Amino acid sequence: MTGAPAELELRLRYAHGTGALQPYFDALRGGRALASRCPACDRVWFPPHIHCPDDGTACGWLELEGHGRVVSATETHARLPLAEAAAAHVFVLVAMQGADNAAFGRLKPGVPGRNLAGRRVGLVGVADAVPHPAQAALFELLEED
Amino acid sequence: MSADTARAPVVLGGGVHPFGRHAGGPWRDWVRQAGEAALLDAGLAPADIDAVVVASETDFLSLQVNPGPVVLAELGLVGKPVVRVEGGGASGGLALREAVMQIMAGLYRRVLVVGFDAAAGHLGAADVQLVYGLSFDAETDGMAGATAVALYALSIAEYMARHGATAEQLAHVSVKNHANAIGNPWAHKPMSITVGDVLASPMIATPYRKFDCSMASDGAAAIVLAAPGEAPAADRPRSRITGSGAGSDYPRLGDRRDRSAFRAKARAAHAAYAMAGIDAPSSAFDAAEVYDAFTGAELQSLEALGLAAEGTAGPAMAEGRFDAAGELPVNLSGGLIGQGGVPGATGIAQAVFMDRLLGDRAHGDGARRAVRRGVIDVHGGVCTNAVVHVMERAEP
């Protein structure tokens, strides 16, 4: 025997700190790229790792110039975490100049999502509050050097 | 046969609660049905089970913290040792591996593995997407907006650029897996569609369209494993798990040197094949059940498993090599795209399905294949953690 499902709504509120990554998020909000560098393998990570994921060595901070190139891009319609509504977004992986990895982020609204691989982009910074500091990973297209 | 394969666990039986959208649940009904079916198929009573492994991806979906003891209570197994295993989409496969290790270590004679998730009809789709977005590095990627489809799309976009794979080749995966699901009584989405249908379906995240994507499903699966000397006599062929391997990769897709390749899966496959004594995987198997969360992920998985050379899976797919009647049929169950995706249950359902193939008990196109050795594969994240098993037919 089955009955009509009960409608349950949970509202969860987390006091969520970002810990040792806080300097990265603070810089991101200001449009700066704070990476980390492993003294053992010399690999530079942006977003940073506090300890190198390859060898466990404690990394040091290293500020990058704040621009890089799109590795890949996807155009979609999605609701950002903690946002009220869905919207069109172009999500990208960006290899920042001076980094050995790539960063996940999104392009400023209005940029078509096609033929972006290889394009030069830079961090924008966010003046307004964002629901989570990771959402400050916002890029804009730059002119070629 | 190596020392490892001499101790390889025997599959005594399995059961699946059909994958689909079962609005309102409850998951414990599905678990009970799958578990009872597995015990019946194995010819065992609850008292014959020594230990239980439970797989479920997240309590956000089930609204049940510590589900292991609840599963025991539903199946008349209270008092048995139970452990819960979680590894995203790999949860069911990792639970299977846990049972393999328990038996091979000599801890238990017979282990029941039960996996479930209420991924479709319990929580709204947008909220499920949010929860799944936390499957990656939640702090830097998930909270920035990364969803499963977005990250998979970024990965396959790079693969397509590197290898020249086309949207048509990806569409062949969808056509094949939806068609394979026809006749599978456990399948969520059996359909007969064309490449044109796939290419005309709504865009979700470039280059992935709606029919390139698997569905989040509700369901459960269960399987009983035994040590070789503890399997009751049978008059039908059974299967044995002769290889088990696991591997991992960076949780942030952007940290990987090659974001288009599934290195965690290659590592898992290497370990599983070594254990099973396989050194030429491309010609070692009669069937494969592969983790096709998205069409492109099937191509990437086939290459990581060594079933296709790097960059060749797309053309081989379009040529029919992996069709039901092809040289190596892949996802005869329908895979995640046709059968459905239940993170806690998928890896177990793969093993149940492969056991049916190996024992001449399969339905649909699988019933027409002579299968003596197969490989099953699941992963979590964008192949952040992977687990691969080799299964072989055992004559009575």
This complex has an ipTM of: 0.96
Beta-carbon contacts of residue B250 (< 8 Å; ≥ 6 apart): A53, B256, B384
Percent of chain A at pLDDT > 90 equals 79
Residues of A (72-101) whose Cβ lies below 8 Å from B: 72-76, 78-82, 86, 89, 91-93, 101
Residues of A in contact with B145 (CB under 8 A): 78, 80-81, 89, 91, 106, 135
pLDDT tens readout for residues A99-114: 999 999 999 999 888 8
Helices B125-133/B148-163 angle, 10° precision: 60
pLDDT tens readout for residues A53-81: 999 999 999 999 999 999 999 999 999 99
Q: Is the pTM of this model over 0.95?
A: yes
Element containing residue B98 per DSSP (H, E): helix B91-104
Average pLDDT over residues B68-97: 98
pLDDT tens readout for residues B82-94: 999 999 999 999 9
Q: What does each C-alpha distance from B366 to B287, B331, B353, B369 come to in angstroms?
A: 9, 10, 9, 5
**Using CB atoms within 10 A of its CB, is residue A85 exposed (0-12), middle (13-18) or buried (19+)?**
exposed
CATH topology of domain B3-123+217-230: Peroxisomal Thiolase; Chain A, domain 1 (3.40.47)
Residue A11's pLDDT is 87
Average pLDDT over residues A12-20: 92
**Residue among A57, A33, A11 at smallest CA distance from A105:** A33
Chain B: closest CA distance from residue A83 (Å):
10
The CATH number given to B133-213+242-394 is: 3.40.47.10
- Greater pLDDT, A82 or B186: B186
pLDDT band at B119 (very low <50, low <70, confident <90, very high): confident
- Residue B144 near chain A (CB below 8 Å): yes
Q: Report the distance separating Cα A128 and Cα B172, nearest Å.
A: 45
Residue A75's pLDDT is 97
Q: Does B3-123+217-230 match B133-213+242-394 in CATH topology?
A: yes
Percent of chain A at pLDDT > 70 equals 98
Nearest to B206 among A71, A75, A106 (CB): A75
Chain B: closest CA distance from residue A7 (Å):
9
Block residue for tokens 């290195």: B263
Residue B180's pLDDT is 96
pLDDT at residue B3 tops 80:
no
- Residue B20 near chain A (CB below 8 Å): no
Residue B366's pLDDT is 67
Residue B11's pLDDT is 98
pLDDT at residue B122 tops 90:
no
Residue A128's pLDDT is 85
Q: What is the mean pLDDT of chain B?
A: 96
**Tokens, residue B309:** 């050379």
Beta bridge partners of A87: A78
Q: Do A86 and B144 touch (CB under 8 A)?
A: no
Residue B2's pLDDT is 57
- Per-domain residue ranges of chain A: 20-141
- Residue B125 near chain A (CB below 8 Å): no
Residue A143's pLDDT is 87
Nearest to A72 among B154, B208, B250 (CB): B154
pLDDT tens readout for residues B192-249: 999 999 999 999 999 999 999 999 999 999 999 999 999 999 999 999 999 999 999 9
Chain B: closest CA distance from residue A117 (Å):
9
Residues of B (260-289) whose Cβ lies below 8 Å from A: none
Q: What is the mean pLDDT of chain A?
A: 94
- Per-domain residue ranges of chain B: 3-123+217-230, 133-213+242-394
Residue B287's pLDDT is 98
pLDDT at residue A116 tops 80:
yes
Percent helix, percent strand, percent coil in chain B, to nearest 5: 40, 20, 40
Q: Do A78 and B147 touch (CB under 8 A)?
A: yes
Q: Do B139 and A78 touch (CB under 8 A)?
A: no
pLDDT band at B1 (very low <50, low <70, confident <90, very high): very low
Contact of A25 with A134, CB cutoff 8 Å: yes
Percent of chain B at pLDDT > 70 equals 98
pLDDT tens readout for residues B22-37: 987 799 999 999 999 9
